Amino acid sequence: MPGGRPAALRRPVALLGTAIALLAAALSATPAHAAPPASAAGTARAASAAAPLAHGAAARSETYGAPARSRRAKVVYLTFDDGPGPYTSKVLKTLSRYGARATFFEIGQNVVRHPGLTRKVIAQGGSVQNHTWSHPDLTRVSASVFRSQVIRTDHAIHAAIGRTPKCLRPPYGAVDHSVYARARALHKKVVLWTVDPQDWARPGTSAIVHRVLTHVRPGSVVIMHDGGGNRSQTVAALPKILKTLKKRGYTFQLIACG
């Protein structure tokens, strides 16, 4: 037919058009930033990257560590990771000034280096829990390494304060079915978080303050860091966060680890 395609070409062109249409439909149904992760561990890591300020929603709610009743009361659970270290005392001093308590998820090898700081957390009414020995991704280790990471940290903390942690926070929030199962076998409650200002990235004091205050709700579990690097911005942000939350009527409680 004049002006038309040869018959031999019409079928391949039609097939190509169909493929393009299907691809366009798939792209419109999936947000560009939400590439599906390969595992539950990937879900946690992807959530941290895509929604860092209120991440953990993909994880089971009982792993937050906040009792259901606190989600109705004006209670916030402050948590600090990766210590003890040079900034732990400064964090504790600020918490004391505002009458706030917090749960510290500590690295075993840091506890061995600074047992006095671990004892100081307890003396001030805080809680010390397990954040593994050396901060590995627990979804990528063998069962024996998992056990060693947790048990060595338990021993270090017990040696410092005479108590064995009941809660475990997996580094990076990386969890999958094996992490939950292995934690249960060691009688550990997995605790994640619901508000993450990503203070570890040092986005600036004002950014940390804004991110926490914007996203806190009754029952929120806030993650910040007193170890693992320069935490001067976290220390500087903490007074404003505590002062504002107190004005809003919030109180600060410890994670319920049993």
Q: What pLDDT, in 10s, does the model give residues 151-209?
A: 999 999 999 999 999 999 999 999 999 999 999 999 999 999 999 999 999 999 999 99
Q: Give residue 73's pLDDT.
A: 86
CATH superfamily of 44-252: Glycoside hydrolase/deacetylase (3.20.20.370)
Q: Give residue 102's pLDDT.
A: 98
Catalytically annotated residues? 81, 225
Bridge partner residues of 76 (DSSP): 252
Q: Give the residue extent of every domain in the chain.
A: 44-252
What pTM was computed for the model? Answer: 0.78
Spans of the chain, pLDDT less than 50:
1-62
